[in-house]
């Protein structure tokens, strides 16, 4: 009984792992082919590359952000991801001001001593942090976005599919030989 239960658990876990690897491959490769960021239902996943927001989230984590548009408004205390000099930065809003009838935001990293030297126009904001963080996965995501990582995401699912097919053939063969005896 234990052997059969263990076999079922192992089989289910193997299939879940295979599905997750294939899903990761699909997300990374589709974003590479489209040239954009992977987006699912208006949310994006971002890897945390620095410690400026510790302890809110750690370097190497991934965070989920809700994408905004020109109608989205943000308030003091919100954590936003914005574009600054072609780099994505995620910091907390410290102050909201009006300049030329438009909202601009003063930001600061939670772990930084002082506020950022710039103000962020609303058009530069990508989205707002959703309070969902997964530690350490950002390291894997960054690797997966590299050329070597993308290649592995093609090779690993192929190898896993081949192993699964070989196991199925071997199991069918054993079953066939068992029924002949």
Respond yes or no: is residue 50 known to be catalytic: yes
How far apart, in whole angstroms, are the C-alpha atoms of residue 173 and residue 159? 21
| Token digits of residue 123 | 């058009």
Burial 162-181 (b: 16+ CB within 10 A, else e): eeeeeeeeeeeeeeeeeeee
- In whole angstroms, what is the distance from residue 44 CA to residue 69 CA? 14
Catalytic residue of the set 30, 50, 146, 168: 50
Would you call the peptide bond into 58 cis, given omega within 30 degrees of 0 as the criterion?
A: no
**Residues tagged active-site:** 50
């Amino acid at each position: 009984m234990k052997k059969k239960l263990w076999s079922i658990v192992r089989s289910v876990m193997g299939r879940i792992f295979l599905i997750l690897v294939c899903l990761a491959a699909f997300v990374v490769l589709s974003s590479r082919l489209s040239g954009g960021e992977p987006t699912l239902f208006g949310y994006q996943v971002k890897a945390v590359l620095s410690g400026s927001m510790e302890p809110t989230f750690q370097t190497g984590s991934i965070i989920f952000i809700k994408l905004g548009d020109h109608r989205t408004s943000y308030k003091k205390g919100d954590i936003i991801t914005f574009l600054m000099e072609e780099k994505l930065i995620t910091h907390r809003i410290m102050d909201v001001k009006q300049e030329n009838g438009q909202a601009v935001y003063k930001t600061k990293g939670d772990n930084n001593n002082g506020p950022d030297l710039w103000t962020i126009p609303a058009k530069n904001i990508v989205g707002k942090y959703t309070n969902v963080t997964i530690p350490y996965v950002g390291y894997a995501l960054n690797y997966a976005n590299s050329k070597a990582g993308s290649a592995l995401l093609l090779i690993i699912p192929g190898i896993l599919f081949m192993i699964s097919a070989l196991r199925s053939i071997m199991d069918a063969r054993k079953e066939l030989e068992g029924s002949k005896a």
